A and B are shown apart, each in its own frame.
Chain A
C-alpha cells in the first residue's frame, strides 16, 4: 500500500471519544443507520429517497433500472426527482475510523469503513501469514497417547515414528489398560443399576400387553421401560379425554334437568299457579317510571294438555295509582284439541304474607263473547281479561303483601267441560330490600278444583277501589 495514503487516512482521525467507541466494533459490520439495505454494506455515496430511505448511489441506481419502487416500502420512486445525495450521512461515515484486522500483527493503520476492504487487500501484514506458516510445528501422531514430540517437517516425523516404536507401544499399552479399568468400573455400576431396575420391573397383569418382562441387558430394559411409559402416557391421555367428555355430558344433563323441572311446574300446576314476583320494589319503580313496562308471568297450563295462560301485571293506564291485572291465553301445541272459547272461572289471590286473612281474592267468570277467550292466533293473545284497577299500588307495598321484596300472586283457572282440573296461576315477584312479600293474585276456577278454600269464593278487600271488574283490554292500547 502507498505509505502516503496511509498517512493521509490517519491524519483525518476523528475526536478521541468517537474513535475509541468505533474501535470497539471489531468486525466490519455497519450500524443499521449506515448500512445500505441493498448491498448490506457501508453506505457508499449515500443518497436519501423522498420516502426517507438511504442507499448507496450505485445500488439504488441499479435497482431503479428494473423497478420503479422503493426496495423497502414499494413507494414509487423516480431516479430524477426522488433521489437526493445525503452528504450528512456521507460525512458521518467518513469520520468513522476502523482499525485494520491485522492490528494484532502490528498494522497500526486506521481507515474509514469504506476504505477498509481495499486496505485489507493490500495490507503488508496480510502477506506475512504465508511466511510464518512453515514454522508451525506438527505434533507426533501419537500425541493423543502422550507423546510430546513435535516436528517441522513430515520427514522428521517419519524418522521419529520409526525410531520410537518402543515408546509408542508402551504408551499404547498404558492407554489400553486404563481403558479396560474404566470399562470395568462402568460395567460394575451398570450392573447395580440394572439389578435395581429389574427389581422395579413389574409386569402388567394382562400378559399380552407386556410380552418380555425378563430383559437381560440394560439397553433392552430401558427400551422396554420406555415403551411402557409411552403406552401408559397414551392410556392416561385417552382416559383424560373420556373424563372430560363425561363431565361435559354431566353438566349439559344438569342444565337440561333444571329446565325440564321448570317446564314441569308450569305444565303440571293444574291451573293453580303461584306467581312469585321477586325483586318487586325495583320492578315497581321501573313500572312507575315507564307505564308501558309490564310484568308477564311464565305461561302455565290448566292441565298437562290444557289451556295455557299467563298473567300480566302493570300500572293501570287509566289510573297510575293502581295496578292492572289481566290473564292472557297463550298458544299451545294442542290448541286444536280444546274447546273454544275458553269457559271457566278465574280467581286471583294476592297473598298477604303477614296476615293471611287480609289476602285479596277475586274471582271472575269467562265471557265467551270476548276475543280474549277465543283460540289465540298469536303466541300471546293480544286481548287480556282482568282488572284495570286491581289494587292500589301503595296498599300493595304497605299492607303486608310484599315480604322479602317478593309479591306472591296466585291464579287459578278452570275451563268448562273438556278439562276437568282447573288451572291455577301463581305469580311471584321478588323486590329490592323491602323485606316484604306480596301475594298478589289468586285465580281460581270452578268445578273440580281441589284446592281447599279458594275455588268457590271471591274475596273482595274493601280498601281497594275497583271500578272495572270485567274488562276486555287490548294490551297494545295501553301504549296510547
Chain B
C-alpha cells in the first residue's frame, strides 16, 4: 500500500511541476523529506478577494493509505477565513473529508483550496467566529481578512487603523498574534478585546 502512495505522489509531483498553474505562479509544491510522505504546498490568494497578493503555505501529509484516504492538509500561514481555523489552520472542505475521491490529486486539491478562498462556505464553518463576522458584517470581515493577508501572507494592503489598534495592545505587553486574534474576534473594538485579553 505504502508503495502505491509513494509511487503516486512521485507521479503527481511531476504532474504538478509540469502544470500551467505552477508556471503561472498560482500554486507551488515542494518536498519536505525524502520519503514522499510530507510536502509543502503554496497557493496564491485569488484576485478580487481579500487574499489577493498573499501567498499561503500549506502543510501536506500523505497517509500510508493514500490515495484511498485523503491527504491531511492544513494552512501554515495564518488566515482569516470561515472555513479555516484561525488558530490551527485546519481546513473544512468536503473533498478532504467524506467527499474525497481517489481520482483527485494534489494539484486538483490545491486548486480546490484556492477556489475555497474565492468562495467561502459560511454555513459549514471551521471557525465559527469568522463565519459569524462573515455573515453579519461582511465589510469588516473583508477588511480583517485583508489585514491578515497583509501581515501573515505578504499581501499588499496594510490597514493603518488595524495596525494602530494592534500596536496599542502591544504597548500593553500583549503578544502580537494574540492581540490580532482578540481584535479580529471582537470586530476591532479595542475595549472589548482588551477586556477579553486581561480577564
Contacts and interface: CB of A to CB of B under 8 A. Distances in A.
B101 interface: yes
Contacts of B53: none
Contacts of A71: 101-104
Contacts of A65: 68
A38 B66 CA distance: 9
Contact of A41 (B1, B11, B68, B101): B11
Interface string A53-86: 0000001001101110111101000000000000
B101 A39 contact: no
B102 A40 contact: no
B159 interface: no
B103 A72 contact: yes
B11 A38 contact: no
A37 interface: yes
Dominant secondary structure of chain B at its interface with chain A:
loop
Contacts of B124: none
Given A63-B68, A66-B68, A39 B8 contact: yes
Contacts of A39: 4, 7-8, 67
B103 A37 contact: yes
B12 A40 contact: yes
A66 B65 CA distance: 11
Given A62-B68, A63-B68, A66-B68, A38 B103 contact: yes
Interface string A3-43: 00000000000000000000000000100000001111100
Contacts of A40: 7-8, 11-12, 15, 105
Majority SS of interface residues in chain A?
loop
A69 B103 CA distance: 11
A37 B102 contact: yes
B102 A59 contact: yes
Contact of B7 (A41, A63, A67, A70): A41
Interface string B36-76: 00000000000000000000000000000001110000000
Nearest to B5: A39
A230 to B, nearest CB: 13
Nearest to B10: A40
A395 to B, nearest CB: 66
B151 to A, nearest CB: 22
A271 B7 CA distance: 92
B102 A63 contact: yes
A67 B67 CA distance: 12
Nearest to A63: B102
Contacts of B99: 74
Given A62-B68, A66-B68, A74 B101 contact: yes
A38 B67 contact: yes
A70 B67 CA distance: 13
Per CB-CB distance, the 5 closest pairs between chain A and chain B, nearest first, are A71-B102, A37-B103, A71-B103, A40-B11, A71-B101
5 contacts: A39-B7, A41-B7, A62-B68, A63-B68, A67-B101
Given A38-B8, A38-B68, A39-B4, 9 more contacts: A38-B4, A40-B12, A40-B15, A59-B4, A59-B102, A63-B68, A63-B102, A69-B101, A71-B103
